[in-house]
Amino acid sequence: MAQERENYCYLLGLNPYREDRYSKGEIIKRIDEAEEKWRKEAQATSSSLKRKFRANTYLSMVTDMYAVIESNVLLEDEFENGRTLLESKASKLNKDVIVLHDGSSYLIPGAENELAKRLKWADVDGPTVLRASKIQPVPAPKPVDDDIMTAFEKLSDVGLYTSKELLNTLIELPSMNMDINRLDPGCRPEEVRDAFGAVERRLSAMKAGNIENQDAYIQAMRALKVVMYPDDRLAMLDRYGRCMRAMEPAIESMEEDYGQPFTSNYLHGLISIYGSHEAIDNEMAVAILEAYCCKRHFIANFSSKNTRLTICPSCKAMVADGKDTVFCPVCGKAMRIVCPHCGTTQPSTYRSCIKCGFGFEEGFREVRRERQAIMDLLAEGDVGGAEDRFGSMQERFPEFTENNDLLVRIGKASSDYRRALGRIDNDYRIRNLYDLKTTVESARIQFPRIMEADYVAERYSEACEKVQEADTLCSLAADSEGEDTMDLYIRAADKCPDHPNAVRRLRDYPPEGPADAVCQVRKDTVLLRYAVPSDRKGVSFCIYRGRNTLPEVDQSTVPLAEIPGGVFLDKTLDPGVDYYYKIHSKRWGILSRDFAQCGPAMVLSEVEGVKVETIEDGLRITYPTPRGCSRVRIWRKEEGDAGQEEVEIVHGNTGTVEDRSLKGETVYHYLFVAEYDVNGRTERSLGTVFSGKTSRYPEPVNDMEVSWNRTDGSYSARWSSTEKVVLYASPRKARIFGTAVPVEDVERWMSPVEPDEVYDNGCKFDLPDGAVIFLYPMVRIGRTAIRGREVMITNLRPFRDVEKKMDGGDCDITVTWPEGAESAIVVVSDPGAREDQPRSEKITVSRELYEKDGRIRIQMGMSNKKTVTLLAVYDVEGTKAESIPFTMDVYSGSSTKVRYSVREERVKEDRNLTRIVMDLECAEGDSIPRLAMTATNVGIPLRMNDGEVVWDSQDPIALQDGRAQTWFTMDKGKADLKRMRLFFVNKEEYSLYKLIHPLYREV
């Protein structure tokens, strides 16, 4: 604990942990020596003014030092304060700690001795400082044992890391002349040992100097031999070597980055970065870095705990920082404070809250005053006043840390207070006045102001009066004899029925008990009847009630009621509970030994107060759940339908049910039954009926017409209804029964259509691609949709991405199969023929067959060209429907060669023009398809559109004896025959003809 003056143990150099070592005489001797030293410093002319002032200050303490020595209590406190001071100073040792991965601490060697020297505390040495710091140092970690470490060091001398690398390096040396295979990375330990034996024998037989670094290799082999057995040591060497190879760059980074303590994030980041290139053992990697930090004295934290340090503002100890550090572990003072106004945690040195500006000094003084005032009110028994004051305090200081403790204290006091008032009330009701007097007197000890509560003082006064009268009568009875004695005790019992003296004498004369008790349930009440005894003078009847079992009754049990007759109506019942009854006679405060019993009796409350309201598409039902009811079940039935069975409505027993999707303008009757779970069985009430009528619904849309807009591919729908219509689309026809359908079901079966444009009686919209789409017009009313007549829209997609490829004499066709199509019809005909001609060949190809073969094969036979028509076949509600046809021409692959030559002739009429003459030859046919000449400025054209089309035949060119000649004129300057070629205008002609272009010699 911090002191206003210097600690005497520190000034005298006493070790506070060795209190038993110092006798009073020795301590006095230390004081004398210190006094002489301080006097010399104060009188020395060479001392500075500051040093003289300090020496004089210490001299003024000498008298107090002797006083402390003479008092055992003060001396013990001084040593205790000295230990606290030393712990504060020794906490600086935490700066020299390396926190390992398991949370243990490695202390830099000699750090405690260095700190002890800096403290200048005479008898305090390094071990004492270590003890005061409460650090439990552990030895430096070793990743592997000494033999493995030595073997690795010898391997690293020759630049290697594992045993296999050493053996493979020696095996591959030409001078070794080894005739064995290299070791694989995953080879067994036996193979490594075999290779080691062979290499060792060969290396021993080599002359010195035959191998470069031969001595280093020999040393490495000798160190490796030590760890060859067992298998786990050899494996450990290789694992350590791989880790070291990965961690060497990390160690270099640590050497470059060291300046501040290494954090856990930094160290594990190094492992994840440099260890990601090679599968290494993470635990060994951590151990390697730990050992290196311990060796190099790098302060580091390998654990997940927070090791940041801060200074305690009270004792100046260096302790762990963090949100969890609220109190200093050395002096116990608060280091962090919680603002009682806003709850912000902050250092205790702050004078006001950093968030809300709450002043701590005055604020905490006021908080403590309020707390003490509340505790004083509780001590006085003013529970109500304490509750009111705590409520006001909680509004002003909602985040005060002791609020919960005060709340618990007030709650306990309030509970005890109410329990005491309850006992007083029960004692007064059954006229146990002696117990009432005792209860009040014991309660006044805890609650001195309980007499101020309503009726307590009045009842206590009455009880004291009656007990006093009963005491007088019992005293007279004790002194009397004969019949007067009993009469006096009876009179005492009339005054105070539970007076112990009267009860002790009269309990041997109990009254006769009732008999033949029966109970009858009448709506929410139970009627009890029983036979009363013949001697009823001064007799009353106490009725006791138990839940689910017969009540246990003794003289102190409070009855449900005490009545003079033989009939009782119990109105204070909870529904759904088995009640059992006992009836005892009572006279002079004594209960009968015999009693009457009956039960069980149970009342079942009906569901009352039900409200049925009309909503857009049905009825909203609200009902109160009867007390004790486990669940309420509801059945619905339509009025006028005698043969229809009731439909139970499934609901969550929340008290509100929305019964939707009902018929319009229809009366529905609802039966409400309350169910009670009682002792493993279910009891049901008789049930109550309530009715409601739904509103009128709009007519369904049955005249919707849908048209396709050719311009943009959209659709338009029209109808005559003036209601707001929502369209839903489905790929198949929905099985919907009835006109009113829940919207939830509609959206589960179909998708709403988002319109592009909305009209008064229609809309324009787009539909997704699909074979068939059914469009449903719905009029939404709340959560119900009125279904109209659906419209089927067929959108049978044809085959797309059709490609053809010749394979010998056959043509293979591949297509993109449209979604929903189940088969394809292929119509093969001669060119120009219609697909419906009888001679056309029809082929049906199923989707499964196409997916298996991956093609549709057309056999060309002797034909060079055929026309193929593809139709996709769909199943539309059980009917086969075909898409629009896709027609194309296919060719056999055989072609006729067309040769040509080009020459240039002079035009006599115009010297600026030249005539281009083309001689064509074709062995088959009587004409050549339409041709065009393309010319380029650079290179030669490979396609017709690679240059300028300078000539076009417009029509096929007729042949005579397989030859033809044609010509055209063009500017003489543009004519370059080497850069001109003929092309077919129609690309399909290349399937039947091949142009043989002339070749020109390069000049």
Residue 319 pLDDT grade (very low, low, confident, very high; cuts 50, 70, 90): low
Name 846's bridge partners: 823
Answer yes or no: is pLDDT of 348 > 90: no
**Mean pLDDT for the stretch of residues 563-567:** 90
For the cut 90, the answer to whether the pLDDT of residue 624 exceeds it is yes
Residue 883, pLDDT > 80, answer no
Alpha-carbon distance of 183 to 1003, in angstroms, equals 67
For residue 981, give both structure tokens.
């070629």
So what's the pLDDT on residue 335?
Answer: 58
pLDDT of the residue at 1: 39
User: Can you tell me whether residue 418 is helix, strand or coil?
Assistant: helix
914-946 burial, b at 16+ Cβ within 10 Å, e below that, comes to bbbebebbbeeeeebbbbbbbbeeeeebeebee
Res 892: pLDDT: 66
Give the model confidence (pLDDT) of 115-140 as tens digits.
888 888 888 888 888 888 888 888 88
Q: Three-state SS for 585?
A: strand
Whole-angstrom CA distances from 745 to 412, 695, 750, 752 are 56, 22, 9, 12
* pLDDT tens digits, one per residue of 40-58: 888 887 878 888 888 888 8
Q: Let me know: does 18 contact 86? Beta carbons within 8 Å.
A: no
pLDDT for 544: 93
Burial class of residue 244, CB neighbours in 10 A (0-12, 13-18, 19+): buried
Say what the pLDDT of residue 2 is. 43
CATH 2.60.40 fits 896-996, yes or no: yes
Tell me how far apart the alpha carbons of residues 867 and 834 are, in angstroms, rounded to a whole number.
Answer: 9
What pLDDT shows up at residue 218? 84
Contact at 8 Å (CB) between 123 and 132?
A: no
The rounded Cα 384 to chain-centroid distance in angstroms is 44
Match 């004409």 to its residue by tokens.
927
Coil, strand or helix at 14: coil
Among 14, 155, 30, 147, residue whose Cα is nearest residue 86? 14
Classify domain 611-693 at the CATH topology level. Immunoglobulin-like (2.60.40)
Task: Please count the other Cβ atoms lying within 10 Å of the Cβ belonging to residue 632.
Answer: 20
Which CATH code for domain 507-601?
A: 2.60.40.10
Q: What is the DSSP string of 778-802?
A: EEEETTEEEE---EEEE-----EEE
Domain borders along the chain are: 8-133, 146-296, 420-506, 507-601, 611-693, 705-794, 800-891, 896-996
Mean pLDDT (the chain) is 83
Is residue 318 pLDDT above 60, yes or no? no
Give the Cα-Cα-Cα angle 74, 79, 82 (nearest 5 degrees). 125
Tell me how far apart the alpha carbons of residues 56 and 605 are, in angstroms, rounded to a whole number. 93
617 with 536: CB under 8 angstroms? no
Position with higher pLDDT, 669 vs 736: 669
Q: pLDDT for 421-473, tens place per residue?
A: 888 888 887 788 888 888 888 888 888 888 877 788 888 888 898 888 888 88
For 705-794, give the CATH class: mainly beta
Res. 334 pLDDT band, cuts 50 70 90: low
Residue 278: predicted pLDDT: 63
What pLDDT sits at residue 759? 87
Looking at 303-312, 592-601, 610-619, 676-685, which range is the least confident one?
Answer: 303-312
Lowest-pLDDT range, 23-32, 479-488, 604-613, 810-819? 479-488
Q: Which CATH architecture has domain 800-891?
A: Sandwich (2.60)
Q: Model confidence over 234-281: pLDDT tens digits?
A: 888 888 888 888 888 888 888 887 877 887 778 888 887 777 666 677
Q: Nearest Cα to 604, choosing from 526, 533, 505?
A: 526
